[in-house]
Structure 1
Amino acid sequence: MPHPLRDGALGTYLSERVRPLFPGLLVAVLVALAAQFVAEHYGAPAMLMALLFGIALNFLSETERTAPGIGFTARTVLRFGVAVLGARISLELFLAIGWEMIGLLVLGVILTILFGVVLARFIGQGPRFAILTAGAVAICGASAAMAIAAVLPKDEKSERNLLFTVFGVTLLSTIAMVLYPILTGALGFDDTTAGIFIGATVHDVAQVVGAGFSISQETGETSTMVKLIRVSLLAPVVLLIALWWRSAGAPAEGPRPPLVPGFVIGFLVLAGLNSLGLIPAGIAAWLSSVSSWALLSAIAAVGMKTDMKAMLQVGGGPIALIVAETVFLALLILGGIYLLRGV
Structure 2
Amino acid sequence: MQVKKYIPGISLSLLLAMIASLIANISYIKHLGLSSIVIAIILGLLIGNSVYPKLSHYCYVGVDFSKGKILRLAIILFGIKLTFQDIALVGYQGILIDILMVVSTFLLTMWMGIKLFHLDQDSVILIGSGCSICGAAAVIATESTINTNPEKVTIAVAIVVIFGTLAMFIYPFFYAYIATHFAISDSYFGIYIGSTIHEVAQVVAAGNAISEPAVETAVISKMLRVLLLAPFLFVLSAYLIKNQQGNSQKRKLVIPWFAIGFLLMACLNSLNILPKQFVSIIIMLDNILLTMAMAALGLTSHYSAFQKAGIKPLLLGFFIFVWLIIGGAAINVAVNAAL
Aligned-partner SS, 2:118: coil
2:272 pairs with one of 272, 277, 300: 277
Q: Does 1:227 find its partner at 2:222?
A: yes
Question: Cα distance, 1:312 vs. partner?
Answer: 2.2
Tell me if structure 1 keeps the 8 A contact 2:87–2:223: no
TM-score, structure 2 length as denominator? 0.90
The equivalent residue for 2:6 is 21
CA-to-partner distance for each residue in 1:158-210, whole Å, 9 max, x for gaps?
22111001111012111111111111121114311221121111111111111
2:170 pairs with one of 165, 179, 195: 179
The equivalent residue for 1:56 is 46
Tell me if structure 2 keeps the 8 A contact 1:83–1:267: yes
Give the 3 Å change call, closer, same or farther, for CA 96–237 of structure 1 in structure 2. Answer: same
The equivalent residue for 1:139 is 133
CA-to-partner distance for each residue in 1:106-138, whole Å, 9 max, x for gaps?
011011111011112121112222221111101
CA-to-partner distance for each residue in 1:235-273, whole Å, 9 max, x for gaps?
110121112212222866674112x32211210111122
1:240 pairs with one of 235, 241, 248: 235
Single out whichever of 249-258 and 182-191 deviates more from structure 2: 249-258
Q: Does 1:152 find its partner at 2:135?
A: no
Aligned-partner SS, 2:156: helix
- What is the 5 A alignment of 1:87-98? 87-98=80-91
Q: Does 1:161 find its partner at 2:155?
A: no
TM-score, structure 1 length as denominator? 0.89
1:77 pairs with one of 63, 70, 73: 70
Give the 3 Å change call, closer, same or farther, for CA 225–202 of structure 1 in structure 2. Answer: same
- What is the 5 A alignment of 1:246-285? 246-249=241-244, 255-258=251-254, 260-285=255-280
Distance in 2 (CA, whole Å) between partners of 1:254 and 1:286 is: 41
| Residues matched between the structures, number | 324
Distance in 2 (CA, whole Å) between partners of 1:261 and 1:216 is: 38
| Aligned-residue RMSD, C-alpha | 2.0
Distance in 2 (CA, whole Å) between partners of 1:224 and 1:320 is: 28
Q: Does 1:301 find its partner at 2:296?
A: yes
The equivalent residue for 1:3 is none
1:196 pairs with one of 173, 177, 191: 191
Q: Does 1:40 find its partner at 2:40?
A: no
Tell me if structure 1 keeps the 8 A contact 2:197–2:324: no
Aligned-partner SS, 1:29: helix
Q: Structure 1 stretches (4+) deviating beyond 6 angstroms?
A: none
* Structure 2 stretches lacking a partner, 5+ long: none
CA-to-partner distance for each residue in 1:201-245, whole Å, 9 max, x for gaps?
111111111111122222121111111111111111012111221
* Structure 1 stretches lacking a partner, 5+ long: 1-13
Single out whichever of 118-127 and 133-142 deviates more from structure 2: 118-127
